[in-house]
């Protein structure tokens, strides 16, 4: 059953004339009759009574008429939906990330969402090690990771290069001037720290030991958010990965104290957006990649 034959059938039924239907559809009358005959052969039923001057639709024809209208309306809706997706008026993106790796993605998401507000974005919380499997299983469109995957089936775009930075409240004595200090200037400062040991904290402690500078940790807090609030309230300073404090630095809520020796801390964390190389990406996914790459080019070039 062809959609064109249904369109012919509906036109004949409405006009009650094969010749009028032919004029409307810019077809010959034999071509119109052929379409009706194909439908009658397919259903093995007469759709029109041709014994009178005007063809009268049969009972079977009335049933087909109702369903034909629905089918053609659905066809129109399908084409409209596909067109909306192609023009990015709708869509769905699934992105896997953990609590830290999602942070540098937020600015990209904001820009993309302003440009394509009808595309639904779903950030799914997953361990970084699970992301390659999720991508291979087509469970997500993108993943955000902080390590390299030697897999030729994936492509990636750099989102963020992390480093350790010393952070204080804006009117702290060392934060008022845009100068680079020696680590020895931190000798008498009070520090806040994360309660649990981590790779970056071990690196910081090693650095202070190397230069024989006391690391005066007066308080340990359970998470990064509580540390940042504590610093904002002018209680201490802190050494944290840039990724965790960049939004506050941009807003001026916190200020960086530039310490020359922190460059010695090895924090090789490059946050990357990864995706399947060979898959047929959706229009939404391709648009997202383009948006991310445009912003990344501004940041790193």
Which domains can be identified in the chain, with CATH numbers? Answer: 3-86 (1.10.10.10), 91-161+270-300 (3.40.190.10), 164-264 (3.40.190.10)
Average pLDDT of the residues of the chain: 88
Predicted local distance difference test score (pLDDT) of residue 135: 92
Predicted local distance difference test score (pLDDT) of residue 109: 93
Residues in the chain: 301
Q: Tens digits of per-residue pLDDT, 120-162?
A: 999 999 998 999 999 988 899 999 998 888 888 899 999 998 8
| Number of neighbouring beta carbons within 10 Å of residue 106 | 12
**Alpha-carbon torsion 284, 98, 294, 268, what sign?**
negative
DSSP string across 175-228:
GSS--EEPGGGGTT--EEEESS--HHHHHHHHHHHHTT----EEEEESSHHHHH
CA distance 144 to 300: 18
Write out the two tokens for 77.
């809706």
Q: Tens digits of per-residue pLDDT, 14-68?
A: 988 888 888 998 999 899 889 889 988 888 989 898 888 888 899 888 988 988 8
Q: Where is pLDDT greater, at 27 or 268?
A: 27
Q: Tens digits of per-residue pLDDT, 63-101?
A: 889 888 888 877 776 776 676 666 667 788 999 999 888
Q: Where is pLDDT greater, at 238 or 287?
A: 238
Predicted local distance difference test score (pLDDT) of residue 145: 92
């Amino acid at each position: 059953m062809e959609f064109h034959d249904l369109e012919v059938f509906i036109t004949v039924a409405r006009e009650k004339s094969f010749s009028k239907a032919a004029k409307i559809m810019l077809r010959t009358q034999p071509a119109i009759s052929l379409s009706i005959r194909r439908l009658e052969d397919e259903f093995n039923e007469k759709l029109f009574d041709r014994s009178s001057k005007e063809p009268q639709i049969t009972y079977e024809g009335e049933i087909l008429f109702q369903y034909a209208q629905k089918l053609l309306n659905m066809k129109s809706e399908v084409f409209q939906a596909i067109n909306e997706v192609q023009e990015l008026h709708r869509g769905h993106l699934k992105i896997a990330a953990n609590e830290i790796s999602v942070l540098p993605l937020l600015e990209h998401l904001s820009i993309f969402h302003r440009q394509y507000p009808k595309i639904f974005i779903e950030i799914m919380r997953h361990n970084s090690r699970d992301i390659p499997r999720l991508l291979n299983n087509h469970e997500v469109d993108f993943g955000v990771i902080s390590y390299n995957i030697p897999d030729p089936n994936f492509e990636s775009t750099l989102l963020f290069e992390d480093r350790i930075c010393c952070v204080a409240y804006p009117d702290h004595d060392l934060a008022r001037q845009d100068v680079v200090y020696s680590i020895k200037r931190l000798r008498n400062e009070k520090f806040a720290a994360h309660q649990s040991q981590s790779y970056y904290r071990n690196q910081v402690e090693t650095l202070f030991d190397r230069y024989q500078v006391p690391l005066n940790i007066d308080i340990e807090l359970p998470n990064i958010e509580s540390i940042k609030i504590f610093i904002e309230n002018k209680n201490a300073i802190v050494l944290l990965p840039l990724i965790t404090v960049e939004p506050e630095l941009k807003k001026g809520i916190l200020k960086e104290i530039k310490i020359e020796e922190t460059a010695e801390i090895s924090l090789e964390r490059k946050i990357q957006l990864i995706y399947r190389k060979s898959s047929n990406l959706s229009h939404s996914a391709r648009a997202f990649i383009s948006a991310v790459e445009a912003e990344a080019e501004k940041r790193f070039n």
